[in-house]
Chain A
């Protein structure tokens, strides 16, 4: 189901958590709310769920205005970071809970609830665990039970609050892939909150980057990674370098030197130059380029990260292949960004 968030503002006491946030979530989409802690992403998720009430603004599920509805009436599935399973109930009773609390008129018969719960148990690959209690499961298994429990009510939208936040790295990776598969199979509109950019980029159809209670950018993983529209997004997603440069006459200068990098003709004055460590070429000839000394190098998986001091305290980090790194002169390294973006200071 489509979810429309319209001009939502939320204040806790006098502290504003969200300012005027609007977002359209398409039906069947897997969308990530990504941001540092305190950016308001969890608040937005809880507002959609109805666990918080907005100070201003409306939320629509399809055509119906959900703002006036209680959590119970919204029929959503919510997965918490720390599972929030009912520990006195078996796995099967946990999953079936949402169906057993329905009013008598819409409640399926007991056998039917059991059958549906078992089906979901198979879907989350926990076949045969129905009689276990939550404390007898590992963290990854508990989170899968929590997801099955949320899906049992056939929710309008599935909301996941840092679903893998409490799990260790390997389990996170497995569950990530698995969640994508489940989503493709069931087609639930899904919103998940994460502070892990890798998770958001790998898993989501679209990523909503948030900072300080505002949406910075909404786009596909490629869009937010390749064309960030603000210094914050550039800095937050992926690695990046930031240098203070001068723009003059369609040219970018750094510490007075030309760099062979073009800028818009009509811009003048200081600007911030952003580029990614891997978007560079090493320059050994006399064409204009950045020049500096190697401060240190680090091995990162298949590449080498070189930290370069450019003088007067400016530092950048470059990514080169190990072969290139072996040939570098520590006293003098030249490079030029191949892709970059300028932002006003």
Chain B
């Protein structure tokens, strides 16, 4: 039996790699068990609320505020991480200095440290009587127990994502590209901003989206430093926990569903941008 190549779309492309059915089947089962069923349960539970109740719960002022703070702070923190994470990656890739290995491994610490520990440590430092908080208080700046504190905690947990996605791409930058820019008359600054950084954009974007996603979902480190004042410094995950503690499961799931939808659509858009840039510049292809 021969299959015509021009028969249009085929579910299974002919390939020399064996095991397509098994690999795809396994992937689907695993994804269903680990991701889809729990998330579907979330939707199912919130659907029990009925449209009207869902609406009023999800778009209550307190909820909206919490969502705004969660997404806003995560966004700002991810932006800060893009700048400083890229800088850190640059230093680690480009320069040799004593203790470089130690600095390099320190980058991963936020991955490993229990987030509560990070939260408590940051709170102690930034509290009005803390080592950093006290001098800032003299200047009239309050960090802990405000959204600024949330941002700082999220920068802490999100830093490794940017560094670790940008670093390998930066290591692969061809010296010749920089030399080419120099021979064409570009000075260092022009080379960095017009040649090197644009080339890193896809990796930076990946790092950004990972740090952002992590920031949106972060709970442990934030609740200590945030102060958790409703309408001021209360994050959406905390609001979910509060609802759970009130045994108000439908409300908790409703907020979760809204978070999920926003996160998914943002990550999806970022992924599309990446796919587009990959097609165009040929990165990672």
Residues of chain A at the chain B interface (Cβ within 8 Å): 49, 51, 71-72, 75-78, 80, 82, 84-89, 97-98, 101-102, 133-136, 146, 149-150, 152-153
Contacts and interface: CB of A to CB of B under 8 A. Distances in A.
A102 B186 CA distance: 7
Contacts of A102: 185
A89 B195 CA distance: 9
B184 A82 contact: no
B282 A80 contact: no
B177 A84 contact: yes
Max chain B Cβ within 10 angstroms of own Cβ: one of A133, A135, A136? A135
Majority SS of interface residues in chain B? helix
A97 B178 CA distance: 13
Interface of B: 174, 176-177, 179-187, 190, 194-195, 198-199, 201, 280-283, 285
Given A86-B199, A87-B199, A135-B281, A49 B183 contact: yes
Given A84-B176, A86-B177, A88-B201, A71 B190 contact: no
B282 A75 contact: no
Contacts of A89: 198
B182 A135 contact: no
Nearest to A51: B179
B186 A82 contact: no
Contact of B186 (A76, A97, A136): A97
Contacts of B187: 72, 101
Given A80-B180, A101-B190, A133-B282, A153 B185 contact: yes
A152 B184 CA distance: 9
Contacts of A84: 174, 176-177, 179-180
A68 to B, nearest CB: 16
8 closest Cβ pairs, A-B complex: A135-B282, A98-B184, A84-B176, A78-B183, A84-B180, A101-B186, A88-B198, A71-B182
Nearest to B182: A71
A88 B182 CA distance: 17
Given A80-B176, A82-B174, A101-B194, A87 B183 contact: no
A135 B199 CA distance: 13
B281 A51 contact: no
B180 A78 contact: yes
A82 B198 CA distance: 20
A72 B185 contact: yes
A97 B201 CA distance: 19
Nearest to B195: A86
Max chain A Cβ within 10 angstroms of own Cβ: one of B185, B187, B283, B285? B185
Contacts of A153: 184-185
Contact of B182 (A72, A85, A134, A149): A72
Contacts of A149: 180, 184
A188 B176 CA distance: 23
Contacts of A97: 181, 184, 186, 194
B176 A77 contact: no
A242 to B, nearest CB: 39
Given A133-B282, A135-B281, 11 more contacts: A51-B179, A71-B179, A82-B176, A84-B174, A85-B180, A87-B282, A87-B283, A101-B185, A133-B281, A149-B184, A152-B184
